[in-house]
Amino acid sequence: MTSASTALFTETHVTRFAPSPTGLLHLGHAGSALLAARSAGPGGVFLLRMEDIDPQRCRPAFTAGIYEDLAWLGLRWAPEVRCQSQHFSAYQTTLDHLREAGFLYPCFCSRARIAEAIGAMSAPHQAPDGSARYPGTCRALAGAERRRQMQAGEPYVLRLDMQAALRVTGDATWMERGQGRVQGDAEAFGDVVLARRDVPASYHLCVTHDDALQGVTLVTRGIDLRPATAVHRVLQMLMGWPEPIYHHHRLATDEHGRRLAKRDGAMSLRACREAGMDPRELASGALKAIQ
């Protein structure tokens, strides 16, 4: 174990593990949860949060399974578990603030229209997370036209005007554990969606809101989310929320080097438990898999 990783277990922090209950947890989740719990350090606080904002994919049975799996691993967390689906009104307050400040606008583009606009562009138009980077079609719509389409019942999403935001916040940087301050590229994500009709608040909005609300001082999560930290820092600066330290850990992989994922049928912790595996041995292996 490196000196940097050792420091994670000796400093005192408020940390959190925030899974989405869309399936069963696997070894990668175990490692991430264990790292977050141990990173709280002596006298720190380890929080459990359910990121259950997607009504189509999240299930109560998966939420119950998360509790069972983490308890089997020997983890203990703060008594109050925040379930994001119960706090949409709080996220709406943030959306209202951003809209009143001029950083939010309605986008009426369908996926087909966005794909067509991107296809007509000569340069690649992809965000760092692999999603299509919105070309900004609705950003310049006049207020009267926006109101007309909204009153007509046209479906829309709410997007962050990234250019306007960056004019206020400047470049997005953050403190990466063991590396110091690093530079992000929020502009590469374009005007990210912060709310939809079927999901009243996006991951980007909810995660930054809740980290601030719950006083999280150290965010431990997978390296795949590192680029999105730039977007989160922009939101934190716009809202005046505190800046936590970040630690992006390696992703657990299978024997072929492929990332473990629910959708690919990675062996679940429930299956490990039912197979009679020793949770202490599994915990040790899970931590090694992400460090």
Segments making up each domain of the chain, as ranges: 1-85+250-291, 87-215+223-244
pTM of the model: 0.92
CATH topology of domain 87-215+223-244: Rossmann fold (3.40.50)
Residue 114: in which H helix or E strand, if any?
helix 111-119
Q: What is the per-residue pLDDT for 272?
A: 96
Q: Point out which residues pair with 82 in neighbouring strands.
A: 49
Question: Contact 274/22 with Cβ under 8 angstroms?
Answer: no
Which residues, other chains included, contact 264 with Cβ-Cβ below 8 Å and sequence gap of 6+? 258
Report how far residue 20's alpha carbon sits from residue 155's, in angstroms, rounded to the nearest whole number.
Answer: 26
- β-sheet with 173-176: strand ranges across: 180-183, 173-176, 245-249, 218-222
- Positions of the chain with pLDDT lower than 50, given as ranges: 1-4
How many Cα neighbours within 13 Å face the side chain of 92? 8
Q: Give pLDDT tens digits for 150-188.
A: 999 999 999 999 999 999 999 999 999 999 999 999 999
1-85+250-291 CATH pick, 3.40.50.720, 3.40.50.300, 3.30.465.10, 3.40.50.620:
3.40.50.620
Q: Which two tokens stand for residue 169?
A: 């916040």
Q: What is the per-residue pLDDT for 197?
A: 86
Asked if domains 1-85+250-291 and 87-215+223-244 share a fold, the reply is yes
Which residues, other chains included, contact 174 with Cβ-Cβ below 8 Å and sequence gap of 6+? 181, 182, 184, 229, 230, 233, 243, 245, 246
